[in-house]
Amino acid sequence: MEKSDVLIVGGGVAGLTVAKFLAEEGVDYILLEEHDDFFKKACGEGVTPVLGDYTFFDLYESKKGIENVAEGSIISTKYGVMEYPLPNIICDKRETEAELARQATKKGGEIRMNTRCEDIAENVAFPQEIKFKICVGADGIHSFIRKKLGIKNPDIGVGMCGITKDIDKERNKCYIEFKKEVIPYGYSWYFPKKDEWNIGIGTTRVKYFKEYSQKFKEMHSNEIKWNGSFLPVSKPLKPYNGNFALVGDAASHVIALLGDGILPSMICAKILADVIIKFARNDYRNVDFSVYEEQLKKEIYKHFLEGYRAYKILSSIWFSEYLFHVFLKIMNRMAKKQISAGADFGTDLNI
């Protein structure tokens, strides 16, 4: 039987970020990713540059896969347009995940692609027969690890994205539309990559998705290959049970208002890695992941809860697109004041 101190199930941004920081401190791990390549879910590929005390580039430590930095976003509703001045990093998510994997394996540890964990019993993963001391569930919205732990599922939304060149908009802005005629209880997006656009649509009411996603497809080129997936829209779930910890979509580590998950997941993964490193230095005696939850609450839960409250308020007034517009405008004004107060984006955003 094979042995590893840490088993990471899932090789998306969250799992790879945990692996990267464990590797930097020489912590033994094996990461299992069920797919044969990275980036297998729908995503706008936009990354908030800063959240709380963390910046994307300080965690990522590379510019590989970064395709564009939009100056801000144009947000439109039925009743008007507003500009949100926070920059938005647009990446090639497959390349970004591959770069995280490169950093992790360069410093130690092992990533096994096309390898699915199908069962866990008595701290052994099957069918691989890997015995572990700690298991990290970074296996996404339908987390197998979360189910094994008996932790409730998050509320879900659904989204779809595609890549195209056929968009006539300024390339220094992102565009987000909150319009019932486009999709109720959701939004569409147009994010400028290097030479193309990532476009998509998402909603927190799954029953509307089939009809309105088809309409959205018909608005655009027949040559676009669309990719759809579910996403969490809950407050963060309990992120641990015993010697198991959850991170990323598996723990609903997203800003629910916009489904923003890349930087939040990386932050949570860094916090989790730091906790595991301390356990490793103590030879995994007295493993207690309640300290992980405490650190999450201290450093990032405020942002999750603010995003969730805003999402719930906006969802409750979708019956009136005018009220929705007014409240969104108030929120945007408040956000602008925070941005004007000054934000350190870390590494220079020029690419």
Q: 56-85: per-residue pLDDT in tens? A: 999 999 999 999 999 999 999 999 999 988
Given a cut of 80, whether residue 343 has pLDDT beyond it is no
Q: Which residues lie below 8 Å from residue 30, measured CB to CB, with a gap of 6+?
A: 2, 4, 6, 7, 8, 109, 110, 112, 130, 132
Q: What is the pLDDT of residue 297?
A: 97
Q: Report residue 109's pLDDT band, with 50, 70 and 90 as the boundaries.
A: confident
Q: Which CATH superfamily is domain 2-70+90-155+232-340 in?
A: FAD/NAD(P)-binding domain (3.50.50.60)
Given a cut of 90, whether residue 299 has pLDDT beyond it is yes
Given a cut of 60, whether residue 346 has pLDDT beyond it is no
Q: What is the pLDDT of residue 324?
A: 95
Given a cut of 80, whether residue 48 has pLDDT beyond it is yes
Q: What is the pLDDT of residue 166?
A: 85
Given a cut of 80, whether residue 307 has pLDDT beyond it is yes
Looking at per-residue pLDDT, the higher value among 60 and 40 belongs to 60
Given a cut of 70, whether residue 298 has pLDDT beyond it is yes
**CA-to-CA distance for 228 and 95, rounded, in angstroms?**
19
Q: What is the pLDDT of residue 337?
A: 72
Mean pLDDT, range 162-185, rounded to an integer: 95
Q: Which residues pair with 201 in a beta bridge?
A: 160, 188
Q: For 1-10, 220-229, 304-313, 318-327, which range has the lowest pLDDT when averaged over its residues? A: 220-229
